[in-house]
């Protein structure tokens, strides 16, 4: 198919990122704060965010298989339905003061989170080899609008009712209901039924042992997990250091803007300098984010650290996604993308679950907990950097 179709699909997916994607900065801003009010123990404050990531991890492979059979639009609609149910249950949990129900609501939010993760792969489905990295990065750039829209909705809705954050979860329902209509505009062919004797692709064991695929999965997991580790705790750290919820929302907004703003040029940079160099730059910037965060707890430290965190995630994650799509074969993409997101969100689950414990239970103060959160980044950055160097040292013909 021509890139005219690909560009149309990119426009639809950008709009979906802007509208439906706004719920993610909303939830990441308020879920930890609401969880700290509902949880029986402060160490469990970020468990609802972990539950969202668990829901995403558990549904990544089934949603990928569903899309392979029924098409991208149907899979994305299922994701939006999950997001709407999560918003409704979250509102009910806040109304009834139920921490258990709040965690269940987050599991349903994870269904949307999982489906959103496939927007980037859908952008590549109808794109030419030359346009593919740009298509992926442009779709990721759609998060710019959600980065502004979501936190502003938090400010407008978090105290709209007597029960804090109830209005935010009601707004999440509306976003999913409105946004799902966008998927009717997608023009991505439904995958053809596999003919008898058609290529099956490499077995799973061989896929994950392929150097380029293995390194792409490691770097994507580390980039996403470390971003989630720090972002999950940041609202708790900001409020715990004496700043307002509005400050936390502004910092999350700046962070999400930094996650997506570079996407306008990331594809061009990858095309010019190579995907490995872009991933390496992302890992270096993630390390710089941790260094700035550990240097102090002034408001500017939070802003600069979270902005660097977003830029580092962008280069690392988009680079790893491009590396993965370049290494896959057409008959493997449904299976491989599901496995990839299962691994990625498994890592993110561990990071988000660890975030609350590190933040609230690893030191005698908010500052000490925040230091531990950022220090925990180091071994995983070394792992990803080592994997990337190992790939560089391999002859190109043995990578994919």
- 191 lies in some domain: no
Q: Residue 195 above 70 pLDDT?
A: no
**Would the CA dihedral through 7, 8, 9, 12 be positive or negative?**
positive
Is 173 or 37 the better-scoring residue by pLDDT? 173
- Give domain status of residue 192, yes or no: no
Is 369 inside any structural domain?
A: yes
pLDDT the model gives residue 145: 81
Has residue 399 got a pLDDT over 80? no
- Residues with Cβ < 8 Å from 174, sequence gap 6 or more? none
Contact call for residues 258 and 307 (beta carbons, < 8 A):
yes
Q: Is residue 124 part of a domain?
A: yes
Averaged over 52-70, what is the pLDDT? 86
281 pLDDT higher than 60: yes
- CA angle in degrees (0–180, nearest 5) for 135-136-137: 95
Phi-psi region of 309 (alpha: psi -120 to 50; beta: other; left: phi over 0): alpha
Which SS3 state, helix, strand or coil, does residue 296 take?
Answer: coil
Residues 17 and 175: their CA atoms lie apart, in Å, by 11
Instruction: Tell me whether residue 111 is in a domain.
Output: yes
The overall average pLDDT reported for the chain is: 87
Once rounded to an integer, what is the mean pLDDT over residues 65-72? 88
Exposure of 383 by Cβ count < 10 A (0-12 exposed, 13-18 middle, 19+ buried)? Answer: middle
Q: Which of 124-138, 205-219, 272-286, 333-347 has the highest mean pLDDT?
A: 272-286
Under the banding of pLDDT at 50, 70 and 90, the label for residue 117 is confident
Task: Specify if 316 maps to a domain.
Answer: yes
Task: Kindly report, residue by residue over 229-252, the tens digit of the pLDDT.
Answer: 998 889 889 988 888 878 888 898
Q: How many domains does the chain have?
A: 1
CA-to-CA distance for 80 and 294, rounded, in angstroms? 37
Using the CB atoms, write b or e for 8-25: b if 16+ within 10 Å. Answer: ebbebbbbbbbbbbbbbb
d(CA 103, CA 194): 39
Query: What's the Cα-to-Cα distance from 297 to each of 194, 292, 305, 309, 312, rounded to whole Å?
Result: 56, 9, 10, 16, 20
d(CA 271, CA 128): 13
- Predicted confidence (pLDDT) per residue in 319-361, tens digit: 998 898 888 777 777 678 778 878 887 888 888 778 877 887 7
Query: What proportion of the chain, given as a percentage, has pLDDT over 70?
Result: 95
- 1, pLDDT greater than 60: no
Structural domain for 60, as ranges = 3-186+203-398
Distance in angstroms (rounded) separating the CA atoms of residues 352 and 344: 12
Q: How far apart are CA 265 and CA 226, in angstroms?
A: 23
Confidence of residue 2 (pLDDT cuts 50, 70, 90): low
Confidence of residue 64 (pLDDT cuts 50, 70, 90): confident
Query: How do residues 211-228 score in pLDDT, each as one tens digit?
Result: 999 999 999 999 999 998
* Most confident segment among 200-204, 334-338, 387-391: 387-391
CA distances from 205 to 85, 202, 336, 346, 390 (A): 36, 8, 11, 18, 20
State pLDDT tens for residues 7-24: 888 999 999 988 998 998
pLDDT tens column, 143-168: 778 878 888 888 889 888 989 899 99
Residue 197 falls inside a structural domain: no
- Three-state secondary-structure class, residue 77: helix
The helix/strand/coil state of 372 is: helix
Q: How far is Cα 176 from Cα 19, in angstroms, rounded to an integer?
A: 8
DSSP assignments along 191-258, one per residue: PPPPPTT------HHHHHHSHHHHHHHHHHHHHHHHHHHHHHHHHHHHHHTT--HHHHHHHHHHHHHH
What is the residue-wise DSSP string for 11-33? HHHHHHHHHGGGHHHHHHHHHHH
Q: How far is CA 249 from the centre of its chain?
A: 18
Note the pLDDT of residue 390. 93
Q: Give domain status of residue 193, yes or no.
A: no
Residue scoring higher pLDDT (63 or 147) = 63
Specify the DSSP class assigned to residue 362.
Answer: S
- CATH number for the domain including 94? 1.20.1250.20
Exposure of 397 by Cβ count < 10 A (0-12 exposed, 13-18 middle, 19+ buried)? Answer: exposed
Look at residue 43 and tell me whether its pLDDT is greater than 80.
no
What does the pLDDT read at residue 198? 64
Average pLDDT estimate for 27-38: 84
Question: 88 and 168 in contact (C-beta within 8 Å)?
Answer: no
pLDDT reported for residue 365: 84
Indicate if the alpha-carbon torsion angle 261, 54, 33, 292 is positive or negative: negative
- DSSP character at residue 364: S
- What pLDDT, on the 0 to 100 scale, is given for residue 37? 84
């Amino acid at each position: 198919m021509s890139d005219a179709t690909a560009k149309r699909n990119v426009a639809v997916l950008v709009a979906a990122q802007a509208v439906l994607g706004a719920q993610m900065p909303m939830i990441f801003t308020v879920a930890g704060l609401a969880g700290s009010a509902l949880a029986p123990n402060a160490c469990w404050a970020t468990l609802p965010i972990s539950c969202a990531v668990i829901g995403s991890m558990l549904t990544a492979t089934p949603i990928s298989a569903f899309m392979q059979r029924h098409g991208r639009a149907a899979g994305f609609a299922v994701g939006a339905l999950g997001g709407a149910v999560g918003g409704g249950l979250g509102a009910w949990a806040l109304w009834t003061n139920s921490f258990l129900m709040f965690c269940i609501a987050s599991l349903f939010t994870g269904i949307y989170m999982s489906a959103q993760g496939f927007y980037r792969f859908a952008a590549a489905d109808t794109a030419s080899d030359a346009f593919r990295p740009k298509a992926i990065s442009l779709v990721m750039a759609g998060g710019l609008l959600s980065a502004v829209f979501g936190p502003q909705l938090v400010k407008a809705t978090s105290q709209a009712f007597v029960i804090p954050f109830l209005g935010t979860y009601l707004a999440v329902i509306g976003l999913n209901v409105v946004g799902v209509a966008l998927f009717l505009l997608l023009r991505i062919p439904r995958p053809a039924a596999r003919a008898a004797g058609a290529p099956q692709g490499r077995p799973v064991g061989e896929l994950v042992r392929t150097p380029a695929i293995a390194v792409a999965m490691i770097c994507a997991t580390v980039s996403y997990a470390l971003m989630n580790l720090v972002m999950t705790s940041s609202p708790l750290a900001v409020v715990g250091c004496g700043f307002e919820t509005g400050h936390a929302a502004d910092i999350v907004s700046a962070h999400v803007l930094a996650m997506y703003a570079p996407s306008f040029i990331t594809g061009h940079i990858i095309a010019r300098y190579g995907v490995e160099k872009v991933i390496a730059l992302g890992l270096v910037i993630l390390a710089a984010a941790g260094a700035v965060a550990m240097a102090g707890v002034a408001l500017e430290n939070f802003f600069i650290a979270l902005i660097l965190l977003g830029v580092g995630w962008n280069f690392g994650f988009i680079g790893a996604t491009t590396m993965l799509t370049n290494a896959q074969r057409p008959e493997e993409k449904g299976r491989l993308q599901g496995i990839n997101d299962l691994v990625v969100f498994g890592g993110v689950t561990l990071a988000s679950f660890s975030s609350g414990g590190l933040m609230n239970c690893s030191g005698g103060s908010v500052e000490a907990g925040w230091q531990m959160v950022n220090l925990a980044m180091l071994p995983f950055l070394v792992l990803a950097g080592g994997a990337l160097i190992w790939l560089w040292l391999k002859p190109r013909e043995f990578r994919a």
